[in-house]
Structure 1
Amino acid sequence: MNQDSFLSEKGKKAAENSARVDIEVYFEAMDNLYHPVDNPDGALPMNVAENQLCWKQLKEKIQEITKTKEIPDWVAGYGDPAGVEDFRKAIADFLGERIIKSPIDADSLAISGGATGVIEMTSFLLANPGDTAVIPAPSYPVYTADIGVVPDVKRFDLQTHHELDELKNGIPISIDQLDKAKLEIEDSGSHFKILILTSPDNPTGMIYSESQLREITDWCIQNQVHLIVNEIYGMSRIQIDQDELKHDYPNPISFYSFGKIMKEYQSPLLHYWYSFSKDFGISGFRIGVLHSLNENLINAYRNAGLSHSISNHTQWFLTEILEDKEFLDEFFANQSQALNQAYRTVRNSLNEVGIKFNPSYGSLFVWMDLSHLLPEQNQEGETKLWREIYDSTNILITPADGFGHSKRGLFRLVITSLNPDELDVAMERLKGFVKSKAD
């Protein structure tokens, strides 16, 4: 019997399409993990955007809370689908003090199970099926499923550049490009409903300047397009003023949070995403955040978001963590040090073997150019090279398929998925592979 007959059309599509093209290889790698003694030739996965740099410190804090504090009775009952009030207040204080650098109101927040839940819910509530969300390329591959599976929103990859060198002064997005995208989308019978920016960006590590954000904001308001800025890596920034790195940034850009612009403009078309998965390194805890001054959107989120709500127990102990400012100071100081050390390790290794990459302002990634190693200048050649790297070195990097970029041969390295010793091993293997291709 054909089991497809028991599924809806969306169900059939979901059954046939994996969320990630590398998921099976990832599970294979996870079953063969590197160990310096027990499995020295094992796999080193660097394809999934997880931050394991300071989990031990956060784990100890969570254990301390659960051992020394009494669990309040309210965690066993239902709570506000948009997040219990104390948790939203703690998040508002955290974002306002550490990323946005301006106070925000807890009532402007709604939370869901992970960034995926927030992206899906926001898209569902802002756009109609068949509408289009524009995303500058290259960008997070799983946006496609997040906005498409349930909300049924189309993804449009805006080609702002082709070569890495074009990023040296920032992401070269222009109003002309947005105008052309709008015309193309409308000619296809769809509506340009949402523009999604990520700053720091996945995978390039770039950030948008204040002047860019303001120019894009003005265009979106004028054209009645919802602008969403994802600052999920807001605390994961590279210290570009280090002596070793300064010359990589001839025209440095300063991080400026979109939250400040939202507060100034007070527009119902401006929105902000955050999640605890990257800066805190707890992707498995599933906490995503929407910040919007559109009261109707927050109300709709509350009324429709029960299926995406987060465990009250999780909200309780994370409130305890967020309210411990001394712990957060120490945690993020250690996190920054570890992130920057990992970045320098990767940067220096790539420079050593002449691999081009984009100097990162933040995020958990390095976006590198291996196009000179492609057996064929097409998608098939890109996939062959990705698989050859894994088969030869047991290093699993993120395949370029799904990032929506015009240039072939660009790959993402997650620099925070390994400890420092493992990262050294991975870089030695990668350097050996590149040198072998040059022989």
Structure 2
Amino acid sequence: MNSAFLSKKGTAAAQKPARVDMDLYFEAMKNRFHAQENPEGAFPMNVAENHLCWEMLKNRIQKVTREKNIPNWVASYGDPSGIPKFKEATANFLSKFLIKEKVNPESLAFSVGATSVIEMTAFLLGDPGDTAVIPAPSYPVYTGDIGVFPSIQRYDLQTHQKMEELNNGIPIHTDQLEQAKRDIEAAGSRFRMLILTSPDNPTGAIYSEQQLRQLADWCISHQIHLVVNEIYGLTPINHRHPEIKDDYPNPIQFVSFGKIMAEYHSPFLHFWYSFSKDFGISGFRVGLLHSLNEDLIKAYRNIGLSHSISNYTQWVLAEVLNDLEFLEQYFSSFQKALTESYLIVSRTLKDLSIPFNPSYGSLFTWMDLSEFLNEKSDLGEEELWLDIYQQTKILLTPTHGFGHQQKGLFRMVITSFDHSDLEIAMGRIKEYVLKKRNG
């Protein structure tokens, strides 16, 4: 590549994909499994998409576009951070279904997807060279979201070494944050943000209300911004289901960070959400920041034009969000379907005695396949990951990029195929494991 063609950042972008599994993902998508048309096809189960109740939501959206006249304001410019009607509809939705506290529409700012919201927030809260601490393992693309344009560094906080340490939730403590702060400052940087995801990607774990309060208190006292990403906030696994309830001996109750924000009313506490996962509409590109920091919301509005969502999308979604009866039906159906997907996967893993983390929510199962590693290294993990894909046509996401030190852990997206197809995928996993064990 001729570096004269591009800037330094442009050259780096051309040479490095956003994530390690993207090339294989595009290959797998071209050969995607179909029970009748392509029964030997691939199962791309590495990208976090939810297709479980799309038909139900699609029918409701089509009802809007058939029966409603497009309002004239859709064709005009509007508030870059979100049209007032959409802010109001979303605030009511969050208040009723997720945060369970009244949300002021003026505390919301929207962008084209979660990636844009993360990027914008990091840009506005941190200076180039600052550091964001993220408990590991965590979403690989946080690195690019906070790094490419905001130039914020990522610090992967090792809260645990082995998967079983997650049995009672994510073991994060303020003494770990104190050590991280010392490490970051010794390296000449500033600990500017702590980013949590609850339910977590990839583990499916959640933070207890007590943990969130302790972390909020610590961050406020050190003037560090705490952001909680609840993009999977309405994807709960029914951990009281008779088949899996014993996997949760000390169950944790999910409490939205928005509730704590409403109580603390601190400029250092923030909340991220997107419609891509709970609603299964990642292609609509709608994400939001909720913050009681008025300066942050004002700054977001002032520079957000290049990240703003189309008015047409905002109009359609506002109509759907205002139909509370439909939302009740949708989330009831989706959460039942999600739990069934989880049961299909967990049954097979238990039958095979493959360790996995009992999930409270999200679209994933986080499993330990380290027994099949030829060596406990990045190379050994990549070899196993490729072997699984080559032998089964199932594409998982390896630990590499999640920032965790343990090798041989893999993330499986459990919502990208319907239940009958998922059964077939797990059958392939079972065949692979038994073949490996039998030599």
Please tell me the TM-score bracket, short chain as reference: over 0.9
CA distance, structure 1, for counterparts of residue 383 and residue 106 of structure 2: 49
Which letter does structure 1 place at the counterpart of 2:131?
T
Q: CA deviation at 1:7?
A: 1.6
| Residues 192-229 of structure 1, C-alpha deviations (whole Å, 9 max, x = no match) | 00000000000000000010000000100011100000
Which letter does structure 2 place at the counterpart of 1:406?
Q
Deviates more, 1:361-370 or 1:242-251: 242-251
CA distance, structure 2, for counterparts of residue 428 and residue 244 of structure 1: 20
Matched, 1:39 2:5: no
Match of 1:105 in 2: 104
3-state SS in 1 of match to 2:270: strand
Deviates more, 1:31-40 or 1:294-303: 31-40
Structure 1 alignment gaps of length 5 or more: none
Question: If the length of structure 2 is used for normalisation, what is the TM-score?
Answer: 0.99
Match of 2:18 in 1: 19
| Residues 154-197 of structure 1, C-alpha deviations (whole Å, 9 max, x = no match) | 00000000111101111000111000000000000000000000
Match of 2:430 in 1: 431
Matched, 1:362 2:353: no
- Alignment check: 8 A CA contact 1:44 1:422 kept: no
Question: If the length of structure 1 is used for normalisation, what is the TM-score?
Answer: 0.99
Please show how residues 334-373 of structure 1 align to structure 2 within 5 Å: 334-373=333-372
**How many residues of Structure 1 are paired with residues of Structure 2 in the alignment?**
438
3-state SS in 1 of match to 2:44: strand
- Alignment check: 8 A CA contact 2:235 2:362 kept: yes
Please show how residues 252-263 of structure 1 align to structure 2 within 5 Å: 252-263=251-262
Which letter does structure 1 place at the counterpart of 2:228?
V
CA distance, structure 2, for counterparts of residue 117 and residue 3 of structure 1: 29
Which letter does structure 2 place at the counterpart of 1:158?
L
CA distance, structure 2, for counterparts of residue 100 and residue 39 of structure 1: 43
CA distance, structure 2, for counterparts of residue 36 and residue 104 of structure 1: 45
CA distance, structure 2, for counterparts of residue 37 and residue 263 of structure 1: 51
Q: CA deviation at 1:271?
A: 0.2
Which letter does structure 1 place at the counterpart of 2:347?
N
CA distance, structure 1, for counterparts of residue 384 and residue 2 of structure 2: 36
| Residues 240-292 of structure 1, C-alpha deviations (whole Å, 9 max, x = no match) | 11111110001110001110111111110000000000000000000001000
3-state SS in 2 of match to 1:351: helix
| Residues 39-95 of structure 1, C-alpha deviations (whole Å, 9 max, x = no match) | 211101110000000011111111111111000011001010000001011111111
Q: CA deviation at 1:15?
A: 1.3
Match of 1:117 in 2: 116
Match of 1:298 in 2: 297
CA distance, structure 2, for counterparts of residue 119 and residue 234 of structure 1: 17
Q: CA deviation at 1:6?
A: 2.6
Match of 1:389 in 2: 388
| Residues 337-391 of structure 1, C-alpha deviations (whole Å, 9 max, x = no match) | 1100000000001001111000000000000000111011100000000000000
Match of 1:200 in 2: 199
Q: CA deviation at 1:316?
A: 0.1
Match of 1:266 in 2: 265
Match of 1:233 in 2: 232
CA distance, structure 2, for counterparts of residue 326 and residue 375 of structure 1: 53
CA distance, structure 1, for counterparts of residue 338 and residue 317 of structure 2: 22
- Alignment check: 8 A CA contact 2:398 2:408 kept: no
The alignment yields a C-alpha RMSD, in angstroms, of 0.7
Match of 2:147 in 1: 148
Match of 1:330 in 2: 329
Q: CA deviation at 1:320?
A: 0.1
Deviates more, 1:385-394 or 1:396-405: 396-405
- Alignment check: 8 A CA contact 2:366 2:409 kept: yes
Matched, 1:50 2:49: yes
Match of 1:136 in 2: 135
3-state SS in 2 of match to 1:51: coil
- Alignment check: 8 A CA contact 1:123 1:147 kept: yes
Match of 2:161 in 1: 162
